[in-house]
């Protein structure tokens, strides 16, 4: 398999694991890809219901980002916001 295909598959696997993990822990949240801020590989906006503590969700997101960084050598930035 060419290296670029392997890299794309790794990126897809990392993003899938990240999103699935958050959806499992917090059913009903919405996750969408947004424009990168700086040099991260992906930036996601995570919209949560107002009944969830934002600091708890942010902490969970950062833990999942660290896992992705360690396993796949990529940087994900989560932006957690309350639903409108």
The CATH number assigned to the domain holding 31 equals 3.30.300
The pTM of this model reads 0.86
Domain limits at 67? 3-82
What does the pLDDT read at residue 32? 97
Strands, E, within 38-82: which ranges? 42-48, 76-82
Structural domain count of the chain:
1
Q: Which residues of the chain have pLDDT under 50?
A: 1-3
* 14 phi and psi angles, rounded to 5 deg: -65, -45
Instruction: Please state the length of the chain.
Output: 84
What does the pLDDT read at residue 4? 55
The residues near 42 (Cβ < 8 Å, ≥ 6 apart) are 15, 33, 36, 74, 75, 76, 77
């Amino acid at each position: 398999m060419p290296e670029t295909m392997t890299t794309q598959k790794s990126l897809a696997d990392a993003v899938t694991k990240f999103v699935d993990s958050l959806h499992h822990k917090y059913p009903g949240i919405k996750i969408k890809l947004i424009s990168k801020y700086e040099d991260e590989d992906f930036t996601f906006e995570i919209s949560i219901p107002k009944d969830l503590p934002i600091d708890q969700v942010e902490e969970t997101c950062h833990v999942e980002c660290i896992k992705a960084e360690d396993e796949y050598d990529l940087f994900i930035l989560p932006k957690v916001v309350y639903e409108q």
